[in-house]
Amino acid sequence: MGTVWQDIRYGLRMLARSPGFTTVTVLTLALGIGASTAMFSVVNTFILDPVPFPGGDRLVEINEMDQTHSTMQRVSPLLYHNVESRSDVFEKTASFAHDIIDVHGDEFAERMLGCRVTPGFFEIFGVRPALGRVLQRGEGGPGNDKAIIISHSMWQRHFGGDAEVIGRKLETSNKAFTVVGVMPRHFQFPLRRTLYWRPFQFTGEQLSDAGGGLLRNWWAIARLKTDVSREEAQLSLDALNQRLAVDFPGKREGQIIRARPLRDFFVDPELQRTLWALLGAIGFVFLIACANLANLQLARTESRLREVSVRMALGAGRQRIVRQLLTENLLLSFLGGLGGILVAAWGIRVSSSLVPSFSPLVQPVGINHAMLLCTFMLSVAAGLACGLFPAWYACRVQVNESLKESGPATSTSLGQRLFRNALVAGEVTLAFVLLVGAGLMIQSVVHMLRVNPGYDPTNLARISLTTRYGWGSSEGLERWRSQFPALADRFAALPGTTAVGLMSSSSEWRYWRAQGKEEPVKLRLARVGVGRSDLFRAIRVPLREGRLFEQGDTAEGQTSVVVNESLARLCWPGASAVDKRIWVGTGADTSVRTIIGVVGDHKE
């Protein structure tokens, strides 16, 4: 043990005598190990193990598939009600849909994206709020839907992290919500930018066909019972699908119900390909770092051949020399591993910020104990791999020749030249692979920039704002009508402004019915200005058919709507879409729109 401590002390002195070499080596290892660890941690969180709960393998997402068009759809309230009743198959079930509220402030309102969730939503994940409680079974029904649970980010931003937030009010246009809970920082589901969750329960009317019970506007998740496999659950859903096809003839043609692992909900295919590609690129960088480190070690060993010869001439055995050199490499690896942890902690934050906000998160993104152990194992392996050959080469030195002043102290052997050439070739090969990948990515970006967006993007600026008056009342609508045109006039008066367009859009997709089409279509509605604030004229979207909005279309009771080419082609192929109708809802809640024009498709 005494000789080991002697080797460590001597190694530290030698590293301190070469600060340049030590700094470069530690930084190289720290960057390679830290970047690899950070990227693998992100991949593990978002791809390999996105649902780390006990029994997470029994969590499934239930959706419908349109076999005719090979598209995945959400579920209808009626289907979810039937799934919820299958207590012999599913231990817990929950449904949710996107939601938007405008929370009032002193002067302006803040538009917030959240979710309406059915009872049992949080129990499925087995997650508890950081403050307060979860939603209770009786909440969400008519007259009992004012409770709200907020996210950690909303708690910090809107309430300043107040520990007494439970019981505080959130004022909207037509309702005041009471905060009953705050979720942990890491719970961000179904989107990373979800700010709140409020309760909802389906009524009898909403479960009927006439009340929109067959419109697929909801997501559904469930936890299988411990003695039920996913295959058995799928058989039960197949039987349910057959019964619904009989109960609603002609309305479920080509539809199937599918239960897939909930982890598939987290793993977006495009994100998966991107993260794996980044992990592969970082892996190449780590290999290049190891090759650089081996070259540095080999060069340093050459400068220490005379020192090794003197120590061997004084009686040091080859085993002791190898152990001393490997000890120095392990010290470098240990320092590089410590630096790698710091780089990984910073890299995880950077890498996580690159993940799109639509990717959900239900666990903290960080270096767990397994990844910490893996980091040190990587550092030790790198030290051994990069120092073994130089140590072996140093011990093969001819003592007599090396001690001679004219000896080959500065020459290189054939084995050394082959090893160095192999390292250089490996570095060039790995760098070439990275260069080709970077070139392909640049080419993809260039192609994306050349895609026609469907409008003229030259000199366009987008300004986003939310007033403190929402759409929930006639007063709010009237204030919008009076304030926004005034704002448009003020923007138009700015020097250099040639046109102003107004738009208020919803991020929620809903299923609407179209005249002459049996199946509902998924649409997203936006309100736009007219006249001097006409959005289509401002961004120069081409008019394909009919006309654009005029002042008369803003009168009370008008139902005019302009649609894009995709909707017209989908619902009325080969025919004119002008004067056709679309509607959503039933009874007094029915919203009907008459098409007056068709504009070209344009990308956001």
Domain boundaries, the chain: 2-50+268-448, 58-266, 474-599
Which H or E element spans position 34? helix 19-43
Backbone angles phi, psi at 368, to 5 degrees: -85, 180
Distances, alpha carbon 194 to alpha carbons 67, 126, 578, in Å: 31, 18, 37
**Measuring CA to CA, which residue among 202, 227, 189 is closest to residue 83?**
202
Over residues 490-501, the mean pLDDT reads 89
pLDDT at position 472: 44
CA dihedral 117, 123, 125, 126 (to 10 degrees): 150
Does residue 397 surpass a pLDDT of 60?
Answer: no
Over residues 314-322, the mean pLDDT reads 62
**Measuring CA to CA, which residue among 256, 259, 232, 258 is closest to residue 88?**
232
| List of residues 6+ apart from 454 with CB closer than 8 A | 541, 542, 600, 601, 602, 603
pLDDT single digits (tens) 404-422: 544 444 455 566 567 667 7
Tokens standing for residue 92 = 């817990």
pLDDT at position 470: 46
Separation CA 138–CA 145 (nearest Å): 9
Tokens standing for residue 577 = 């879409």
Separation CA 559–CA 526 (nearest Å): 13
| Burial letters 295-318, b for 16+ CB under 10 A, else e | bbbbebbbebbeebbebbeeeeee
366-370, 403-407, 517-521, 559-563 — which one is most confidently predicted on average?
A: 559-563
Q: Which amino acid is at 197?
A: W
**Pick from 164-178, 280-294, 563-577: least confident:** 280-294
Strand partners, 513: 583
Alpha helices in 171-268 (DSSP H): 230-247, 263-266
Tokens standing for residue 408 = 């080959």
Alpha helices in 213-355 (DSSP H): 230-247, 263-266, 269-303, 305-313, 318-354
Q: Which amino acid is at 497?
A: T
Which residue's entry shows tokens 């030195």? Answer: 397
Tokens standing for residue 65 = 């598939």
**Measuring CA to CA, which residue among 329, 435, 345, 407 is closest to residue 42?**
345
Tokens standing for residue 298 = 């080999």
pLDDT > 70 fraction of the chain, expressed in percent and rounded? 81
| Burial class (CB within 10 angstroms; exposed 0-12, middle 13-18, buried 19+) of 171 | middle
Other beta carbons within 10 Å of 115: 20
CB 341 within 8 A of CB 372: yes
pLDDT at position 310: 63
Backbone angles phi, psi at 533, to 5 degrees: -110, 25
3-state secondary structure 140-183: CCCCCCCEEEECHHHHHHHHCCCCCCCCCEEECCCCEEEEEEEC
Over residues 326-353, the mean pLDDT reads 82
Separation CA 40–CA 218 (nearest Å): 33
**Pick from 447-456, 478-487, 563-572: least confident:** 478-487
301-310, 361-370, 497-506 — which one is most confidently predicted on average?
A: 497-506
Which residue's entry shows tokens 């990308």? Answer: 603
DSSP string, 378-446: HHHHHHHHHHHHHHHHHHT--HHHHHSTTSSSS---HHHHHHHHHHHHHHHHHHHHHHHHHHHHHHHHH
Q: Which residue has the higher pLDDT, 487 or 150?
A: 150
pLDDT single digits (tens) 15-48: 777 787 788 888 888 888 888 888 888 888 888 8
pLDDT single digits (tens) 80-135: 999 999 989 999 999 999 888 888 766 667 778 899 999 889 999 888 999 999 99
